[in-house]
Amino acid sequence: MKQYEEVTQFVETNKRNPSKYRIEEHDMLNWVKANRKILNARKMKPERVEKFKELLEMMEECKRVNQYK
């Protein structure tokens, strides 16, 4: 739950997803990727599925946009 709160707060304040190129954000990105794999394998606890899906939706809204369009 602590990691979930940290990632949601980061996305809300910075209006972007954690970057794989910044070392201080790398742990958050790894946590999201690992939980996405657990979700896709259907091994995540049911009470966590809703919260994590909300986080993924929020991250999708803050997805990087191509600057040359």
What confidence tens digit (pLDDT) does each residue in 10-57 have? 999 988 899 889 999 999 999 999 999 999 999 999 989 999 999 999
Residues 6+ apart with CB under 8 A from 17: 11, 29, 59, 62, 63, 64
Q: Residue 62's pLDDT is what?
A: 83
Pairwise CA distance, residues 1 & 32, whole Å? 12
Contact criterion met (CB below 8 Å) for 28 and 13: no
Q: What is the pTM of this model?
A: 0.81
Which pLDDT score, from 0 to 100, does residue 22 have? 92
